[in-house]
Amino acid sequence: MRKVLPIITILAVLAGAAPLFADLDGLWEGEGKGVCYPPFPTPSIHPIYAWQKWSGYVENKEVFYGKWADERGNFGQFEGKILPLSPSDKYVVCEGRWTWFNTLVKPPKEITMGKFTMNFYYNEDVCEGKWWSDYSPSVKPGIMKGKRVGD
């Protein structure tokens, strides 16, 4: 019985640590909702529907990066770091920044627009998050959701 108890304890610890080894790496795709406006001097009548369609990669369970586009022709990129400590054993959190390419100026300019967070849920291959714009602080945060679609 003395030998069995330590083995059971080790197995219980490993089972609890299973989410740490869940495979988040790979291609993720999704959609989002929300609107913000570009910084001055771009006309504010030109809304940006950031993250309307997006795709990105999780690499080494450390970084999440990719691109987004909307139906109006706006597009940009995003990159964030997956935090080593999570508030839950059901998901990990990624925090990062997103950009928008201002093609209304010559030459086009990539502008960092704000922050985002994304929660990646273990063993479900789904994610959800929020994005904010530094240039539209009075606007509600946008939302996005997605799923893992490949390695």
C-beta atoms surrounding 136 within 10 Å: 20
Which residues, 6+ apart, have CB-to-CB distance to 75 below 8 Å? 67, 68, 69, 100, 101
Count of residues in the chain: 151
The number of folded domains in the chain is 1
* Domain CATH code at residue 41: 2.40.128.120
Angstrom distances, CA of residue 80 to CA of 15, 57, 61, 62, 108: 28, 11, 11, 9, 23
Which residue range(s) make up the domain with 117? 23-150
**pLDDT by 10s per residue, the chain, length 151:** 555 444 444 434 334 444 444 689 999 999 999 999 999 877 777 899 999 999 999 999 999 999 999 999 999 999 999 998 777 789 999 999 999 999 988 899 999 999 999 999 988 999 999 999 999 888 899 999 999 999 8
**Region of residue 101 (phi > 0: left; psi between -120 and 50: alpha; otherwise: beta):** beta
The Cα–Cα gap between 83 and 63 comes to 9
Residue 120 domain flag: yes
